[in-house]
Structure 1
Amino acid sequence: MDKYNIKIITDSFEFLGDIEDYISFFYRRNYNKSRDFQLVASMKYQDILKNGHIIFIDPKKAGFIEEVTIDEEKNTVTAKGRDLKSILNRRVTIPPTGLDYDYIKGDAETVIKHYINANAITAIDPKRNINQLVIAENKHRGEIISYQTRLKDLLVETETIATATGLGFNIELDLVNKRFVFDVYEGKDLTVNNRVMFSSDFDNLYNTITTVNTLNQRSMAYVAGQGEGVDRNIKQVFKSNDTGLNRKELYIDARDINEDEDLEDRAKIKLSEYERIESTESTIANDNFIYEKDWDVGDIVIKKTEKSIDSLRVVEVTEVYEGYRKIDITLGSILTSLIDEINNKVNDIGTSVGATGGVSSVNPNVWKPVVDVNGNLTWKYSLATDTPTSMNIKGPKGDTGPQGPAGEGGTKIFTQSTEPTSIISGDVWIQTI
């Protein structure tokens, strides 16, 4: 397949057309996060560039169109969207019936694929299942972890587990069987055998910008489990042995964790979100080490400068097509964008936030009103996701009250056995027997 030829299909894999004479196109690939693309083409393609259609340059580089802009003055149509990983953003994690959380312990690949299977392929509610989505064979990659989730963004949970355990993931097109195939993979270490080195000495690295960020870095965590006050179970988990000024602490509220042994896993996963970030953005000359042949997204390579030699992971590649293909890479870590921070905060709504910014996966407790059959109102301390049972609090009809005085200038109604002495024209006398 010509990598410079863009194809458009529907979500049911109906072929709509090719686009060869586009103005510009970029596609961003990331090791363990969902990323975006943008295509600018002539307006003659507006009939096939529709929201919901799939755009791809090869089966592992595909995405859903989510925004279309037509510029009639420039005679262009711009299609934007995200890669197929964004499918997972359409689901939240629902615990099994009768359980507060969906808990699993196993290798990271098994944990990730369990949540995708439970929420998008074999969900209890069949309307949640995505019929085109399948999961590749489980090869049990990654370290053993314990994890539990409840009502969280499935994509964010997948990204969190993958990032914490050093795994990547992708969703690719299976054009023959008309399916979306989810799989986990592990980048290769190219620093010893089959070494790949990027350096200005090799004329394959230029326009380099390196950023080191320690703003959110934490070196240890106090993770608090169940219990109250002095009886609460609190463990210390260390990422480094820093002391004094260099020690940076994190508090993690993990009162939803039942087993003590799982507290350390919660702390490790949360601490992975508070790393020292070193990010190198560069443009690569695709000559001596060929992209997708000698190295790819997720691989660990060598970056050599005048001052240092570092082993860094290729976490992101941006392919830019504007008459020719340019390859921009990010080594090390991705600086968190405002959108990523917002998405993470949204995913943590309904969780407890520690004093130093640590977040746990437990829903906050709130007071909710409860009314019994006798009409007594009490308050219950419960999970925010609990819904009180509907109850009719209307009481029985009360006794008839005394008759009120007539309004000024209005008609008076007398209800008595003898004729009223003060009756005047216009009044009404109802004689009782």
Structure 2
Amino acid sequence: MARRVNAGTAAWLLGGTIVTFTLATAALATPKRGPNAAITEGRHVFRYDTFGDEAFWTGVLRLQEPIATLTPVQALGAGLKVDLDALPAATVDALRAGQVNLNDPAVTLDLLARDAVVGVKAKVEDGALGAVGITCALCHSTVDDALAPGVGHRLDGWPNRDLNVGAIVGLSPNLQPVADLLGVDVPTLRSVLDAWGPGKFDATVFLDGKGFRPDGKTAATLIPPAFGLAGVNLHTFTGWGQVTYWNAFVANLEMHGQGTFFDPRLDDATKFPIAARNGFGHVRPPEGKPDLVTPKLPALHAYQLSLAAPRPPEGSFDPAAAARGGALFAGAAKCASCHVPPIFTEPGWNLHTPAEIGIDDFQANRGPEGRYRTTPLRGLFAHAKGGYYHDGRFATLGDVVDHYDQHLDLHLTPAQRSDLVEYLKSL
């Protein structure tokens, strides 16, 4: 969700003193930092850094109040995940033995104190919950359910399609500032949040105010994966920008971190009335406050690009059918003309008009280009929940193949369509 901008800039000196030194001295004094160090740092940013967003989630929305009363059962029901590796062995053993009261809010506080709730950072002192913030991992990590549903080892980059962002935000006892931003009353805002459901979020509603599509369905889109992005140009469903652009966008405008963000496209008051009115394309830290976002973007970017798409589980597709489907993909079905192997999107400006892909233009027209991105196809199994395309309109891969068969007049046989599905499942 977008935040109001504090005008002004800040100048920073080292210890209040202007320091000068030669480039040669700087080169000698600066230790070499290899790519692995950047990836390690980026992983920490991805998992644990709030960019200072506690000021919003705690200070404005006061989410610490309802979270303090949540039981683990309720938290898991909202799609929050528990990092098994953050728990001591005794706690893991007790969970396995069914000796932990999952209906006790005190257990939730203990999990938060141990940094075990994926994507949520909290300050817990003397059994009381203080400041609460969120990280990238809240939406873009899940767990492998190794111990129980919702409790397991982290899977960074996998979208959390169980996460009910709208329901969690709706717990806030102070939604009025968000309602005021959108120019609606709180009951209307709640109807928008309730419509999102698990696995969806609407980043654009806080730019254009459109909570619903013309057909009455939610305008929210599915939480996308953050893996398999190496070599991929435009990152979002509608091509807002590259990965590092979207990191800055989300950290500042959605997570409400304390940083810098610039995009004059958001000055378009016709297309983005809320963004233009609030100066969301010209965000700076509050007067005298440091930028807690921008210095972390390089390492975060490095870590995200290191996240390869996961391989499908053994036995999850028919190898012989997949081989036949691969030949169709590259040939008669024309899939590879856009989904170019091995990145399975176009190198370069990977966008297409709604007419080219045969769907409506609502979501495309909410973006700056009026187009949809060619989605990379590796690891499809990891985000099958919720459906395919930006809004989950196609429930199965078979539905996707059928759509293109009709739209492109391919005249594929049922067997060929089935083989294509097996190939997609194999990626």
TM-score bin (small chain): under 0.3
Report which structure shows greater RCO (CA 8 Å, sep ≥6): 2
Please say which structure displays the higher CA radius of gyration: 1
Structure with greater proportional strand content: 1
TM-score under structure 2 normalisation?
0.23
TM-score under structure 1 normalisation?
0.23
Structure with greater proportional helix content: 2
